[in-house]
Structure 1
């Protein structure tokens, strides 16, 4: 439908499933960070505060408390030495958040906790499920499992990363972020601009003899709809990245209160868009003691003019550059240590931008706080990179390292 055409049909919602989003923002002021630099970032992104002790949202307990009463444990299964629980919570607006909580089977004593943050990938029909063993994602949908396995082969070396990470001795939480998976928008009746893009995509599929799946149709709509979501966020005083950070902050506080998790030893890790989320989360919350950013680091200058179109609204928030260059955001974190992994043939970042970012990070941080590693290959989180990242987190979140960090002035 042409947006200029008059029609008697009601105009479709541009934020289907999130009609309560504006009222939520009115009742939840800006996130209050614990450091001035964290507050500057929260204000630049427009991060709203997460719900606390509200009947409509999560009852976010103190980090050392027992099970959060309003987080629902829906099922549990042990497979290949990992116990996986399906959990969910309600943030007070939009759909209920689905997540997976994974830990070594039979583990005793508190474990270091890691928030595993899924990538963007242009695939919003699913979220954190791409990090979980495909057999456990949706046992009633063979197609969904195949879709998950294909994404894991393409981007994660064929490995269900969160499941594998739990087998290495971590308590891992992987959740769907704002606009992905369970938190996706309802695009059954898409707004006009999104509908026009989808119709064009359908025509190309027909010409190529392709029969799209339900997930294909949704992802085509969601790719175009992200522009609308970013516009809505800006109009409401927040940003697309700020809303994702809101969901991540809530998930981090859930992880801190889950049974068997040592809230004093929390980390975050993500690949691509998930890596950007890991950096932002660490800069916003002192609960993150160590973090990993994989294939998501460069300088702003290197993106102009040829690499802008490679990235989404998750990475390109208006006004964020006023706080300094992208690598400089790491200095806003109170984490003890962090690792940045670069792919030398990354299609989304020029090599000179990655090298410049590495030099900037190395100059800004004392020896031992920042580690940068360069890997051959393109935009993917290979199993060798995962091995390095897991080893880094295991070392930096060990009890011995936490004692060393406290003795050397870290909180």
Structure 2
């Protein structure tokens, strides 16, 4: 009996000690309501392994083979070989080129409307896949990069304009507002990057990513992305994965056009479009060069309180589950080596911390150097420039692309 009592007393004592210890805990483990990071995020960030990331002294060909296999496994959802079956809807003559509205099968699930710009007399011509930004502006996608086709300004619409003409006019006004905000200066009103390249002799293709422009719905907004992303996760795919796969398909479609030189097909993007540009340049064999303006940093550099990537919502369009186990952003971009690539960032861009941008650029230069192709990688942090793609930047970038492609 005494032994039983002693055991019971010991059990009560152990419980008492345990109860005393359990008072030592963190009551709140979320940093804030809007940037909902766990308080232990720094510990998680330090454990991000990037197990297949670039390491000094690695064999570049073996590294690329392993990294590319993993990147494609995570980013590309499936191998889609659906015939494109392009059809032309209408066209508009412009200065030195024709702007066409076309439709084609971007996947086995979606037949999409796109803009195709064809320079006069195009034959064996260079080409550019124009990849639009996010900007929380879902009313336009491809129209961020190419001036809307057969659209009249609202103030110039005739009194008997039909609903289709009115809708086109509204889209034009939104597109012009976008161009004014991100592309133009006082002396260059209403310009679009895709049209600028068409004037230089490039065949240009612009599509809408899922949720933007003609692939959206009235009322689709920033908050809608969370539901879209979670629904796609539940369906066994991802928002970012669908965008990436469709970009690869668009690249293949563009390279297949009879007037295009398959060896000279560039991906060109601004903001989220820049992310898409270096991503598709890395994972698609159909892209042979790229221009990425305003999107590059390390994952750890963006996982800091206050950064835009922590809001959720827009981040889902660029979030591939578990890729941080294997590859950092500059590692994925580095899989494009030794292709010619240009990266611009600005010192005043609040979305991309300069030190993180520098770290990314340094790693990419190591990768291109290992491939004996560092002269093909141009990286630049532009003093006094924010999140924008102004005329001087575009001229510099497009002159660089002309040089890479031997385009006169």
Q: TM-score, normalised by structure 1?
A: 0.72
The residue aligned with 2:394 is 386
Whether the 8 Å CA contact 1:129–1:137 is kept in 2: the answer is: no
Q: CA deviation at 1:233?
A: 2.2
Whether the 8 Å CA contact 1:282–1:291 is kept in 2: the answer is: yes
**1:225 counterpart = 2:255:** no
**1:356 counterpart = 2:371:** no
CA distance in 1, matches of 2:152, 2:71: 37
Whether the 8 Å CA contact 1:290–1:335 is kept in 2: the answer is: no
CA distance in 2, matches of 1:108, 1:224: 43
The residue aligned with 2:58 is none
**1:84 counterpart = 2:99:** yes
**1:47 counterpart = 2:55:** no
Report the secondary structure of 1:232's partner residue. helix
The one of 159, 167, 176 aligned to 2:208 = 176
CA distance in 1, matches of 2:108, 2:256: 22
How is 1:89-238 mapped onto 2 (pairs within 5 angstroms)? 89-91=104-106, 96-104=111-119, 106-134=120-148, 136-137=150-151, 140-141=165-166, 142-157=169-184, 158-184=190-216, 186=217, 218=219, 221-238=220-237
Q: Deviations over 1:328-360 (max 9, x none)?
A: 112222552101101110021112111221222
Whether the 8 Å CA contact 2:106–2:250 is kept in 1: the answer is: no
Q: CA deviation at 1:179?
A: 2.1
Q: Per the alignment, do residues 156 and 137 of structure 1 end up closer, same or farther by CA in structure 2, a change over 3 Å counting? A: farther
Whether the 8 Å CA contact 2:82–2:107 is kept in 1: the answer is: no
Q: Per the alignment, do residues 271 and 92 of structure 1 end up closer, same or farther by CA in structure 2, a change over 3 Å counting? A: closer
The residue aligned with 1:309 is 310
Report the secondary structure of 1:88's partner residue. strand
Whether the 8 Å CA contact 2:107–2:246 is kept in 1: the answer is: no
> What is the total number of aligned residue pairs between the two structures?
318
How is 1:194-343 mapped onto 2 (pairs within 5 angstroms)? 218=219, 221-303=220-302, 304-307=304-307, 308-309=309-310, 312-343=315-346
The one of 378, 381, 400 aligned to 1:374 = 381
Q: Deviations over 1:183-232 (max 9, x none)?
A: 22x4xxxxxxxxxxxxxxxxxxxxxxxxxxx6xxx2xx331121112112
Q: Per the alignment, do residues 316 and 280 of structure 1 end up closer, same or farther by CA in structure 2, a change over 3 Å counting? A: same
Q: Per the alignment, do residues 52 and 364 of structure 1 end up closer, same or farther by CA in structure 2, a change over 3 Å counting? A: same
Report the secondary structure of 1:164's partner residue. helix
Structure number with greater Rg is 2
Report the secondary structure of 1:313's partner residue. helix
Report the secondary structure of 2:71's partner residue. helix
Whether the 8 Å CA contact 1:116–1:174 is kept in 2: the answer is: yes
Q: CA deviation at 1:250?
A: 1.4
Q: Deviations over 1:70-96 (max 9, x none)?
A: 101111221122211111113456553
Q: CA deviation at 1:177?
A: 1.6
Q: TM-score, normalised by structure 2?
A: 0.73
Whether the 8 Å CA contact 1:77–1:84 is kept in 2: the answer is: yes
Report the secondary structure of 1:77's partner residue. strand
